[in-house]
Structure 1
Amino acid sequence: MKSSIYVFNLCGLFFIAVGIFYGFFTDFTELVGFPALLLVGLMALMIGVYLWLTDRRVGRQPQDNDDAEISDADADYGMFSPWSWWPIVSAGAAAVAFYGIAMGWWIFPFGVVLGIVALVGLTYEHDRGDFAH
């Protein structure tokens, strides 16, 4: 977590400095890039401060220890199916739906139907076949 704190705080300071320089070089007349760079810097600083406060409260994390094992982490990360094809179908459904929004609304329902099929398949993949519980 320490490295994440440094990365986010450094990025925040960098984007704020770049935003201020950008404002001076454009005489503060271009009002899209200057506020955008400042907001990106503030958001990065906000994440960095949150991580710093969390690190102070929680203490040393396994990811900060170079000799830590995967099993040293407290939380259960869940069960993942390395053989599953449903995430790829879900991504394809999202791609078709977004393509439909961009190119023609008549394509969008095909993406929605494919997304519903993918969601049902992803939800019930452990209830059927060889991998049923």
Structure 2
Amino acid sequence: MKSSITLFLVNAVFFVIVAVVYGFFTDFTEMVGFPALLLTGVMSGMIGVYLWLTDRRVGRQPQDSEQAEISDADADYGFFSPWSWWPIACAGSAAVAFYGIAMGWWIFPFGAVLGLVSLVGLSYEHDRGDHAH
């Protein structure tokens, strides 16, 4: 976590400096780049401070040690199905729904229905067939 804290705080300082320099070059008249760069620096600083406060509260993490093994991290990342086609169906239905929002609202319900079907399929894929528990 120490490297993440350093990375975010260095990014915060960098983006604030770049925002000020950019503001001087544009005489602070360009109202997209300067605020965007400044907010990027501020948000990066917020993440860095949050990680710093969390690190003080939690203590030493396995990723901070050079001798740590991958198995030292005790988090369970879940169970994923490498053979599943349902995530592709979810992504396709989201693409249809977003296309409907952009091009015509009459397309959106088709994407929403496909999304519900693919989400139910993704949720219940291990409840039947060869992979039932």
Question: What whole-Å deviation, never above 9, does each CA across 1:88-115 have from its counterpart, x for those lacking one?
Answer: 1111111111111111212111111110
> Following TM superposition, by how much is the alpha carbon of 1:68 offset from its aligned partner in structure 2, in angstroms?
2.4
Match for residue 130 of structure 2? 130
Structure 2 alignment gaps of length 5 or more: none
Match for residue 90 of structure 2? 90
Partners in 2 of 1:117 and 1:70 — Cα distance? 37
TM-score between the two structures when normalised by the length of structure 1: 0.93
Match for residue 100 of structure 2? 100
Match for residue 55 of structure 2? 55
TM-score between the two structures when normalised by the length of structure 2: 0.93
4+ runs of 1 displaced by more than 3 Å? none
Partners in 2 of 1:64 and 1:85 — Cα distance? 37
> Following TM superposition, by how much is the alpha carbon of 1:19 offset from its aligned partner in structure 2, in angstroms?
0.6
Partners in 1 of 2:3 and 2:92 — Cα distance? 35
27-36 or 45-54: bigger deviation: 27-36
Match for residue 78 of structure 1? 78
Match for residue 119 of structure 1? 119
Aligned-pair identity (%): 78
Count of matched residue positions in the alignment of Structure 1 and Structure 2: 133
Question: What whole-Å deviation, never above 9, does each CA across 1:29-59 have from its counterpart, x for those lacking one?
Answer: 1222211111110000000111111112212
Match for residue 2 of structure 2? 2
- RMSD in angstroms over aligned alpha carbons? 1.2
